[in-house]
Amino acid sequence: MTPFKLTDELVLEIQLLIDNQKDAELLSLLEEVHYADVAEIINELNPEEATYLIKLLDSDQTSDVLTELDEDVRERILNKLSAKEIAGELEELDTDDAADIVAELPNEIIQEVISEIEDREHAKDIVDLLRYDVNSAGGLMAKELVKVNENWNVLTCVKEMRTQAENVTRVHSIYVVDDEDKLKGRLSLKDLLTTATTTHIKDVYIPKVDSVNVNEKPEEVAKIMSKYDLEAIPVVDEIGRLVGRITIDDIVDVIKEEADKDYQMAAGISQGVEADDSIWELTRARLPWLFLGLLGGVCAAAIMGGFEDLISQHALLFFFTPLIAAMAGNVGVQSSAIIVQGLANDDLKGSISQRLIKEMLLAALNGVILALVLLFFTWIWQGSFITSLAISVSLIAVIIVAGIIGTFTPLFLHKRGIDPAIATGPFITTSNDIFGILIYFTIAKMLLGI
Amino acid sequence: MTPFKLTDELVLEIQLLIDNQKDAELLSLLEEVHYADVAEIINELNPEEATYLIKLLDSDQTSDVLTELDEDVRERILNKLSAKEIAGELEELDTDDAADIVAELPNEIIQEVISEIEDREHAKDIVDLLRYDVNSAGGLMAKELVKVNENWNVLTCVKEMRTQAENVTRVHSIYVVDDEDKLKGRLSLKDLLTTATTTHIKDVYIPKVDSVNVNEKPEEVAKIMSKYDLEAIPVVDEIGRLVGRITIDDIVDVIKEEADKDYQMAAGISQGVEADDSIWELTRARLPWLFLGLLGGVCAAAIMGGFEDLISQHALLFFFTPLIAAMAGNVGVQSSAIIVQGLANDDLKGSISQRLIKEMLLAALNGVILALVLLFFTWIWQGSFITSLAISVSLIAVIIVAGIIGTFTPLFLHKRGIDPAIATGPFITTSNDIFGILIYFTIAKMLLGI
């Protein structure tokens, strides 16, 4: 398979075809293109061209295209479609994707769009899904699933399943429920292929099935599904009734978004922006963290001002402040990142005090090695052994403290129920800069006996 | 479902039961526990206890437990098992997991283990898989799949599939091949449920199927599968023959590992360590980056030494070096992180020069806002307008240069085929510290007219 590659030439060709209304050529050009790739093309078009293309293509292709578009592009296209046209797209989509699109529509047209959906069962399911918090299992799940009653026999079951499977893109498991719709277990597809057709469901189903509550957080659902290698998981309400199903493709998106968010947080970028967002959006995501850095820098300046009397005799000390600040920052980020990652992956064992002791030993080991190298270098370079020694000894202290702050902060935030990822990046760098410089000058002053 | 929670009490209870050889109680306690959870328990036991448990439990449970264990724990357990016992575990595993375990075994016992596997077809598949690079689609794929010949009729097909499905844990798609085993297309499970049984395969199969080449990189496979929402993808060799299948659960692991690796790289940690690794391993992963920081700090000190003549009249300038270095570092990390992420997600459009212009504007906007705040503050605090102005103007220049370096470096590395993630974290912070301080003092010196 040669992966699809979006090129400027292709976009230009399509724009030309649209301008000249060459519908037949457009259709044949895009016929074999996957909807995810069509979405990439449409993201590059202006709203008029995009809408033209959406209206031209068949709605079983365009509905999927809509789900893959950038949010702002989708909004502009939906603005140009009638309620009936939008309903036509929703008709083709799975309930979870349809509900996501409906949730983005302006309030005043939602009712009209829903009323235009011909399949009333589908419309009802979409409305049901709108009630759930987007940040929960309920907000992720779809209503499409194959379920059978434990009191049926296999014959009824297979007949029912054929009907249900028509509406389900991917059949993963067949869920078994009782008369009150409570989830009892599952029938695997493999069982279906290998079991005789005369048995009763009650006697063949597997009474053990993993499920999640509608209120579970998406990250937790992702952890459960990836830990237990599940491709779909049923969702139950507070009293155990089967209300929906989450599939692994949605979870892959959750995992990627979580990873992107943590990465950006560590880099001092908030709000999940992308490189192609506007300068204004990028500024809003970046400026707050830069202000934090500015504040930290001013504090550092104030601290150094307090040691001004050292400057005439020991200017060398001042030359090494960037080094001290950088080391404090680097060590802090290293320590916090590994804790944040351990917390995210649930593979952190032992108590906080054990962690701190380990980090202290680690920092001390690294600190001594680095300090010896630095001592050797500054001594040769500047000739003053006592100043060089003061810088190196302070460096060890700074690295140990930075390691402890970097370890303790995310653990503390996590205990308090705050996302520890916030403690990585600028936050830890800035506080470590300040503490580092304070410790450095204090120790150096003591050692130099001034 | 109440998620399993590993507690010290549970581990202690199990250790006691093992010490007292209470086999029946151990078996009933662990009967209902998922293999991924059993693995978490075993990770906490010593090698003797762990081996005792592995030998006690049934091999259809323990084989899966083995795949989930930490690598070092698995190695110690396998050391204590005979070739025959290991072969028994491999017998129960899918070929991809079995091959991963075989690859970890010492060379001298691999042949013996393989010869002890009773299912010779399975043994042959495992040996086949050993030939592939772990860092390729071939290294990820399993041999278990359901395939039918295009020349069969549906009846033969269903019969064959029943046999094949016995060996396949999860049936995703039914792949269609020709007489030479070349991949022609697929039959969906849904088609199977809804099509009459008298048709010929040739007439019903879908001739379009995504596939990847055995040599494709795992990250690329992950991109393709998540973009096109695939749950399984067939793998073909150089001449198009179907050689294996990759399932989404393995891809979820690839995505998580990639994300963890990038995150650690940004935090200045190499080699994919975990919080629970030894101090020695953690030092090896962290020290190289700290040395880089040390080197940068020494360069910064040398640069500041070159401006020593400024120190008597304009000590304030020196007090603000940590601020300048921190801002240069923060802006650099922000810019590079967003580019690295855009490159990883393939959603970066436009040319390098457009990117640089945008980043320059963005940095200039942020820089001016921050510089004004700083100017106001330092002027009030120190009373010297001209020094404050020099600091603020330099800050703008430093931020713009930092943004450009942060944008350009990952783009340049990517063009050269080097993983741009290495440009984030300590690398960019250190170089930006140095450039920032150099620019700062140069501009300040010019403006102050010395």
Contact present, A117 and A90 (Cβ < 8 Å): yes
* pLDDT of res. A17: 94
Per-residue pLDDT band for B2 (boundaries 50, 70, 90) equals low
Confidence of residue B274 (pLDDT cuts 50, 70, 90): confident
Whether residues A263 and B337 touch (CB distance < 8 A) is answered with yes
Question: Over 60: is that where the pLDDT of B282 sits?
Answer: yes
Same domain, B351 and B391: yes
A202 confidence band (pLDDT: 50, 70, 90): confident
Sheet holding B212-213, edge to edge: B212-213, B232-236, B242-247
- Nearest-neighbour CA in chain A from B314: distance (Å): 11
What span, in angstroms and rounded, lies between the C-alpha atoms of A405 and A423? 10
- Residue contact B291–A251, C-beta within 8 A: no
Q: Do the Cβ atoms of A366 and B286 come within 8 Å?
A: yes
**In this structure, what CATH number is given to the domain that contains residue B17?**
1.25.60.10
* Nearest-CA distance A56 → chain B (Å): 22
Give the nearest partner residue to B361 out of A255, A279, A365, using CB atoms: A279
Which residue would you say has higher pLDDT here, A334 or B274? A334
Q: Is the residue at B427 inside a domain?
A: yes
Task: Tell me which of A251, A269, A296 is where a domain ends.
Answer: A251
Q: Based on the domain organization, do A430 and A300 belong to the same domain?
A: yes
Q: What is the pLDDT of residue B211?
A: 93
Q: Each residue of A386-421: pLDDT tens digit? A: 888 989 999 999 999 999 999 989 988 888 888 888
Q: Which of A224, A276, A349 sits opposite B347 (nearest CB)?
A: A276
Which residue has better confidence, B426 or B367?
B367
Q: Do A326 and B165 touch (CB under 8 A)?
A: no
Please state which of the ranges A41-55, B9-23, B198-212 shows the lowest mean pLDDT: B198-212
Residue B447 has pLDDT above 90, yes or no: no
- Mean pLDDT within A261-286: 80
Looking up residue A321, the CATH number of its domain turns out to be 1.10.357.20
Q: How far apart are CA A145 and CA B27, in angstroms?
A: 35
Per-residue pLDDT tens digits for B319-360: 999 999 999 999 998 888 888 888 887 777 767 788 888 888
Whether the predicted pLDDT of B235 surpasses 70? yes
C-alpha span between A76 and B267 (Å, rounded): 39
CB-CB under 8 Å, B161 with A171: no
Q: Quick check: B365 pLDDT over 80?
A: yes
Q: Above 80 in pLDDT, residue A449? A: no
Contact yes or no for A269 and B338 at CB 8 A: yes
Shared domain for A299 and A443, answered yes or no, is yes
Per the domain annotation, does A331 fall within a domain?
yes
- Per-residue pLDDT averaged across B363-389, rounded? 89
Say whether both B245 and B96 belong to one domain: no
pLDDT at A1 over 70: no
b/e code A24-45 from CB counts within 10 Å (16+ = b): eebeeebeebbbbbbbbbbbbb
Pairing label, strands A242-247, A232-236: antiparallel
Instruction: Determine the pLDDT at residue A193.
Output: 63
pLDDT at B315: 84
pLDDT of amino acid A450: 62
Question: What's the confidence (pLDDT) of residue B74?
Answer: 93
Q: Do residues B23 and B106 both lie within one domain?
A: yes
- Give CA–CA dist A290/B374, Å, rounded: 12
Residues of B in contact with A437 (CB under 8 A): 322
pLDDT of residue A194: 66
Question: Kindly report the CA angle at A246 between B263 and B143, in degrees rounded to 5?
Answer: 75
Say yes or no: B154 and B248 in one domain.
yes
Residue B262 belongs to some domain of the structure: no
The answer, yes or no, to whether residue A192 has pLDDT greater than 70, is no
When the pLDDT of each residue in chain A is averaged and rounded to a whole number, the result is: 88
R_g of chain B, CA atoms, integer Å: 30
Tell me whether residues A300 and B315 touch, CB distance under 8 A: no
Strand order in the sheet with A212-213: A212-213, A232-236, A242-247
Does position B145 have pLDDT exceeding 60, yes or no?
A: yes
Can you give B2-25 as a three-state secondary structure string?
Answer: CCCCCCHHHHHHHHHHHHCCCHHH
Q: What does DSSP say about strands A173-177 and A183-188: parallel, antiparallel, or unpaired?
A: antiparallel
User: Higher-confidence residue: B190 or B363?
Assistant: B363
Q: Which two tokens stand for residue B387?
A: 């020094």
pLDDT above 90: percentage of residues in chain A? 45
Question: pLDDT (tens digit, 9 = 90+) per residue, B73-116?
Answer: 999 999 999 999 999 999 999 999 999 999 999 988 999 999 99
Helix axes B35-43, B71-79, angle to 10 degrees: 80
Gap from B111 CA to chain A (nearest CA, Å): 30
- Over range A415-432, report the average pLDDT: 83
DSSP assignment letter at A174: E
Please tell me the distance from the alpha carbon of residue B80 to that of residue B47, in angstroms, as a whole number. Answer: 8
Phi and psi at residue B313, to the nearest 5°: -85, -35
Residue whose structure tokens are 């086949």: B128
- Concatenating the DSSP letter of every residue in A236-255 gives E-TTSBEEEEEEHHHHHHHH
Q: How far apart are CA A248 and CA A271, in angstroms?
A: 25
- Kindly state whether residues A115 and A154 are assigned to the same domain: no
State whether A201 and A305 are in the same domain.
no
- The pLDDT of residue A2: 58
Domain carrying residue A437: 279-447
CB-nearest to A275 from B248, B342, B426 is: B342
> Is residue A39 one of the residues assigned to a domain?
yes
Question: Which residues in chain A have Cβ-Cβ distances shorter than 8 Å to B380?
Answer: none
Flag whether pLDDT at B20 surpasses 90. yes
The answer on A402 and A315 residing in a single domain is yes
Mean pLDDT of B371-381: 89
Residue B209 within a domain: yes
Domain boundary among B113, B135, B157: B135
ipTM value for the complex: 0.81
In a domain, residue B312? The reply is: yes
Q: What mean pLDDT comes out for the span A331-335? A: 89
Same domain, B409 and B304: yes
Nearest beta carbon to residue B190 from set A165, A190, A377: A165
CA nearest to A407, candidates A384, A432, A379: A432
Q: Is the pLDDT of residue B433 over 60?
A: yes
Q: Which of B135, B156, B176 is the last residue of a domain?
A: B135
pLDDT for residue B125: 94
- Per the structure block, which two tokens stand in for A450? 């001034």
Q: Using alpha carbons only, how large is chain A's radius of gyration in Å?
A: 30
pLDDT at A77: 93
Q: Is the pLDDT of residue B401 over 80?
A: yes
pLDDT above 90 (res B244)? yes
Tell me the sheet residues that pair with A174.
Answer: A146, A187
Same domain, B199 and B239: yes
Q: Are residue B227 and residue B285 in the same domain, yes or no?
A: no
What is the number of domains present in chain A?
A: 3
* Residue in A34, A162, A294 closest to B193 by CB: A162
% of chain B at pLDDT higher than 90 = 45
Q: Which two tokens stand for residue B6?
A: 């590993």
Distances (CA, A) of A79 to A109, B10, B81, B221: 10, 58, 66, 36
pLDDT at B425 over 80: no
Question: Per the domain annotation, does B272 fall within a domain?
Answer: no
Whether A271 is covered by a domain: the verdict is: no
Contact B259 A263 (CB under 8 A): yes
> What CATH number is attached to the domain comprising A180?
3.10.580.10
